[in-house]
């Protein structure tokens, strides 16, 4: 497979595939960043682990009626995906209070929210990915009102699917980040990844953090926690 690098982010590389005008190769990296790139390191086998977890979850979502860019896993750290134009809106869905919700809004960590909270963040490294409203999104012409309604509805559907799935694996889905994009037909579909990099996952019994927070806050057992999530998800 001849490939040409067209984009490199903090956690992934995107390659154009020679002779293929409909699909990209998405490759997962071992690089880890936190606090908008201020903290950097590598987590051994993270690319392999996140690729495996994302493949399983996107396959689950595809089979549950959620359209994603995932086509197939082709190596330990890469997958074939549909070409999408990513919308510069990061969608966060929260079920349990943690992270910035505790820091900025005085919720108590571990508090179960009365209903899922959906937030939007402007996807901009230069601006620090700020929290913004749907009115901002419409004024910036990042998406239409109908598109945002679709994104919100899909996010809530995904949340219900994932909460049930992770709970069956002994994990609480605290919160997670999604990215959506327009495919070659202009249809909005789920893209990016779903992994311990993009989800807060706590052990159902002990509430032990099993996600990127172990790296963010130097909690130790980072590789072990990622491996354990992969083991549960794929079991």
**What pLDDT digit, counting tens, does each position of 217-229 carry?**
999 999 999 999 9
Query: CATH number of the domain that 43 lies in?
Result: 3.30.200.20
pLDDT band at residue 38 using 50, 70 and 90 as cut-offs: confident
Q: What is the rounded average pLDDT for all residues in the chain?
A: 97
Q: How many domains does the chain have?
A: 2
Tell me if 234 is assigned to some domain.
Answer: no
Q: Is the pLDDT of residue 37 over 80?
A: no
For residues 164-189, average pLDDT: 98
Query: 22 in a domain, yes or no?
Result: yes
DSSP per position, 75-118? ETTEEEEE-EEEEEEEEEEEEE--THHHHHH-PPTTPEEEEEEE
| Boundaries of domain holding 201 | 85-221
Q: 216 pLDDT exceeds 90?
A: yes
Whether the pLDDT of residue 234 is over 90: the answer is yes
Residues 6+ apart with CB under 8 A from 148: 89, 134, 137, 138
Q: Is 231 inside a domain boundary?
A: no
Note the pLDDT of residue 233: 98
User: What per-residue confidence (pLDDT) applies to 35?
Assistant: 85
User: How many Å separate Cα 205 from the centre of its chain?
Assistant: 24
Question: How confident is the model over 152-162, as pLDDT tens digits?
Answer: 999 999 999 99
Q: Are 66 and 147 in the same domain? A: no
Residue 197 binned pLDDT confidence (cut-offs 50, 70, 90): very high
CA atoms of 48 and 228, how far apart (whole Å): 13
Q: Name, in order, each residue with C-beta under 8 angstroms of 74's C-beta and a sequence gap of 6 or more.
A: 25, 80
pLDDT value of residue 168: 98
Question: How far is the CA of 38 from the CAs of 35, 159, 213, 216, in angstroms?
Answer: 5, 29, 15, 10
Domain containing residue 186: CATH number: 3.30.470.20
Q: In the numeric block, which tokens belong to residue 65?
A: 């009626």
Whole-prediction pTM: 0.96
> What's the pLDDT tens digit per position in 61-111?
999 999 999 999 999 999 999 999 999 999 999 999 999 999 999 899 999
User: Does a structural domain hold residue 211?
Assistant: yes
The answer to whether residue 229 sits within a structural domain is: no
| % of the chain at pLDDT higher than 90 | 96
- 74 and 107 inside one domain: no
Tell which wins on pLDDT, 140 or 34. 140
């Amino acid at each position: 497979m001849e490939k040409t690098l067209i984009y490199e982010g903090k956690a992934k590389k995107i390659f154009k595939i020679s002779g293929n005008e409909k699909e990209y190769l998405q490759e997962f990296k071992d690089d880890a960043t936190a606090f908008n790139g201020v903290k950097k390191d590598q987590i051994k086998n993270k690319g392999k682990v996140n690729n495996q977890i994302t493949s399983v979850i996107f396959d689950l979502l595809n089979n549950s009626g959620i359209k994603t860019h995932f086509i197939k896993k082709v190596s330990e750290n890469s997958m074939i995906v549909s070409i999408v134009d990513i919308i510069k809106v990061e969608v966060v869905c929260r079920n349990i209070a943690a992270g910035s919700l505790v820091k900025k809004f005085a919720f108590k960590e571990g508090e179960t929210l009365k209903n899922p909270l959906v937030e939007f963040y402007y996807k901009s490294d230069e601006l620090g990915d700020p929290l913004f409203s749907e009115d901002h999104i419409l004024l910036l012409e990042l998406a239409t009102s109908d598109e945002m309604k679709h994104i919100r509805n899909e996010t809530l559907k995904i949340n219900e699917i994932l909460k049930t799935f992770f709970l069956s694996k002994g994990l609480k889905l605290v919160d997670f980040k999604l990215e959506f994009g327009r495919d070659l037909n202009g249809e909005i579909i789920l893209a990016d990844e779903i992994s311990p990099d993009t989800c807060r996952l706590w052990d159902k019994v002990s509430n032990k953090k099993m996600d990127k927070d172990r790296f963010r806050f130097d909690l130790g057992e980072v590789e072990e926690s990622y491996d354990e999530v992969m083991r549960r998800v794929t079991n």
